[in-house]
Chains A and B, each alone.
Chain A
């Protein structure tokens, strides 16, 4: 997820956790697991905080592209090819 423009403005006025999350996701896209790990909180707690922030428009949540997630075979294959060439470039 990443912090929206609104999230950047409002981050400081909301709770401490929200402000920290907004700060983390402002500089770089973060996964839920990363947020939980950095904040030393259980995943479930992070999920609730993030869901609330998303509902308030403070965070933009990008769903992971699961293969077969309704995007169709083309999306999955294209994603795999991108991952593959990315790994080869490492």
Chain B
């Protein structure tokens, strides 16, 4: 499906995950060429009167916002950054989000480490390469990287970097590190047995 007629334009995407309020929107916004856009992925008030809501009691509150940014790499290659909805009850949307993604950034606030467990589990399960980005609020790093690695029980190969999500340069470095990591894994053949998520559709 990737090869299309005449002027073929391709896009790639990177998923930005992490707990609620950890800096996903900030990170997307710091490097995106557009103001991060918000889209509502499922039923909203717009569907009232169109869809039959009577049978589904809780539908009035099911507005899911996820934001995304865009980086034009080339005239025919666009990189999209998708921030995941932070609330865990919207996990069902993640499958769609990660389909075809090249990798994920899991932003971690070390003061609330447990918030990222669910995201890590998800990517491990889907075998989507990810890295851990410790968002240094106030420029402070509260924990040693090795302690974080141990606490998260992640593989020694998974990169852990520190970042200031507000900084374009810092975010850029995080993305570069992720793509380098994915490339290294592929070249090493480590990913050979791990089909990317897109293959599973």
Question: Which positions in A face B, CB cutoff 8 Å?
Answer: 2, 29, 31, 33-34, 36-38, 40-45, 60, 62-71, 73, 75-77, 79-84, 86-88, 90
B87 within 8 A of A: no
Looking at the assembled complex, report how far the CB atom of A61 sits from the nearest CB atom of chain B, in whole angstroms.
9
A36→B39 contact, CB < 8 A? yes
- Distance from A45 Cβ to chain B, minimum over Cβ atoms (Å): 7
Please tell me if the beta carbons of A69 and B196 are within 8 angstroms of each other in the complex.
Answer: yes
CB-defined A-B contacts under 8 Å, sample of 9: A31-B80, A43-B40, A44-B42, A64-B10, A79-B12, A84-B179, A86-B74, A87-B175, A88-B176
Instruction: Spot the interface stretch: B97-105, B135-143, B152-160.
Output: B97-105
Contacts between chains A and B (CB distance < 8 A), count: 137
Secondary structure class of chain B's binding surface, majority of residues: mixed
Q: Is the CB of B38 closer than 8 A to any CB of chain A?
A: yes
Q: Are B10 and A79 in contact (CB under 8 A)?
A: yes
Q: Known: A80-B183, A86-B77. Contact between A42 and B40, CB under 8 A?
A: yes
- CB atoms of B46 and A65 under 8 A apart: no
Q: Mark B151-174, 1 if CB is under 8 A from A, else 0.
A: 000000000000000001000100
B-to-A contact residues, CB < 8 Å: 1-4, 8-13, 31, 37-44, 46-47, 68, 70-71, 73-74, 77-80, 82, 99-102, 168, 172, 175-176, 179-180, 182-183, 186-187, 195-199
Which of A40, A73, A80 counts the most B-chain CB atoms under 10 A from its CB?
Answer: A80
Q: Please, which residues of chain B bring their CB within 8 A of the CB of A67?
A: 100, 102, 182, 196, 198
Q: Is the CB of A63 within 8 A of B102?
A: no
Contact (Cβ within 8 A) B172 A66: no
- Contacts A36-B39, A71-B3, A75-B2 known; A62 to B10 CB distance under 8 Å? yes
